[in-house]
Amino acid sequence: MALTHDLRYVLRSLWHHRTLTATAVLTLALGIGANTTLFSVVNAVLLRPLPLADADRLAVIWCCSGCSPAWPPSSQRSGSMG
């Protein structure tokens, strides 16, 4: 009996303060949506392993067409390390 009375009171209060209710619901919806999106991105990018065989041997190959004459740097062109 007390629970139904409390629920009716809550619904009446929420209906009476519609702007506050809408603001609270919108804030919760945006927060939950942002949290879900961020978790999905982090899970896909950082937590799951790459779907490749021997993913630990993955390398990056960089090709540059029309590079400036100063590329690669002079220390790498001559083979010297200094």
Spans of all domains in the chain: 2-77
Q: What is the pLDDT of residues 25-74, one digit of tens each?
A: 999 999 999 999 999 999 988 888 777 788 778 777 776 666 655 555 55
Q: What is the pLDDT of residues 8-24, one digit of tens each?
A: 999 999 999 999 999 99
- The one-letter code for the residue type at 39 is F
Percent helix, strand and coil across the chain, each rounded to 5? 65, 0, 35
Six-digit token string for 8: 């009716």
Query: Which 3 state secondary structure label does DSSP give 78?
Result: coil
